[in-house]
Amino acid sequence: MAASMKIKLLSVLVAGVVLAGCSKMSSYQDKAMEFRQQCFGDHTIKCRAMMVDVGIAQLEAGVELVGKSEEQFVACRGRAAYDEGISLFHEKIDYYKSLKPNIFMRTVLSDMQTEFMPKPFKHEREFEEFVRNLDQCRKGGGSPTATAGAVAIQGKIDSNAPEVKGAIDTVAGQLTRIESTTGNAAVALNGRPLFTGDDANWQYPVRVFKLSQNREAILFTSTGGRGNSCESLFFFLVPGAQGVKPTPEFGTCAPTGSYAQQGDRITITLPRMGGNSVFVFDGTTLTEDGNPVQLSDSNDPSK
């Protein structure tokens, strides 16, 4: 009997980066797209190997991106912190390589179902701290320890137990979930469905974050259509005078995680293979582990 793959999948939804011509990021995007198309719901050794390759490609893209920010980070945190961070990236790449099935398993046993429960990366906490510091320095915030006490709100998120109940009144109008005569549901703005794509039936609000200037960022989840191995993804919906604007979908397929809000900066931490992924939304832009995420067909909540 085939064993189930008990893992928290890597996020494969990063669709772009502001650094044009970033070769490692392009490679990561290609591998991520291939994995999403072939392996959601597939628990074979072949897909385990592809998943590990996606993780390696993501980390290699991270090294390239960190290199672009070397001067800024060194000025912000110092040379020793930069060198230690680069070392952590390479150490984590080696860790991912150790998780990849051997050549015999990838060729002879590639279609065999597998259970996958790897031990976490032993320096995950230090790695996440470096990513947070990098993101802070790139935004001109200096040392994050200087403002750590200013976190106003923090807690847990669970797509299976959303905090939002009923309608949400926003500057753009009232958000509700409506059901059509065919039984399909969707999020609606002033009674009209926002999205009509494949995900619309599975989207609903999880939590409302209050921002400055009487604004809000509403965290939504999408919980269907990706097979058993990807339980939940998330996105923010930002209402404004001209309507509402979604961020790209993001996540690690895990339905639970944690949040922290510091001013207009919202940090979502979600578990994944070998540790956590950190997503930061500042009311305008979204990053994953310090890498900017851009909207595309593969991560558009409206599709």
pLDDT tens-digit map of 88-127: 999 999 999 998 888 888 888 888 877 766 778 888 888 8
Cα 223 to Cα 15, 63, 123: the distances in Å are 20, 32, 31
Question: Per-residue pLDDT averaged across 138-152, rounded?
Answer: 51
In angstroms, rounded to a whole number, what is the distance separating the alpha carbons of residues 169 and 88? 45
Measured at the CA of 26, the angle between CA 253 and CA 131, to 5 degrees, comes to: 60
In angstroms, rounded to a whole number, what is the distance separating the alpha carbons of residues 263 and 257? 20
Higher pLDDT pick, 74 / 89: 89
Measured at the CA of 281, the angle between CA 271 and CA 187, to 5 degrees, comes to: 85
Average pLDDT, the chain: 79
Q: Which residue type is seen at 161?
A: A
The structure's pTM equals 0.56
Question: Per-residue pLDDT averaged across 15-20, rounded?
Answer: 32
pLDDT greater than 80 at residue 236: yes
In angstroms, rounded to a whole number, what is the distance separating the alpha carbons of residues 28 and 55? 8
Q: Which residue type is seen at 153?
A: I
Band of pLDDT at residue 145, cut at 50, 70 and 90: very low
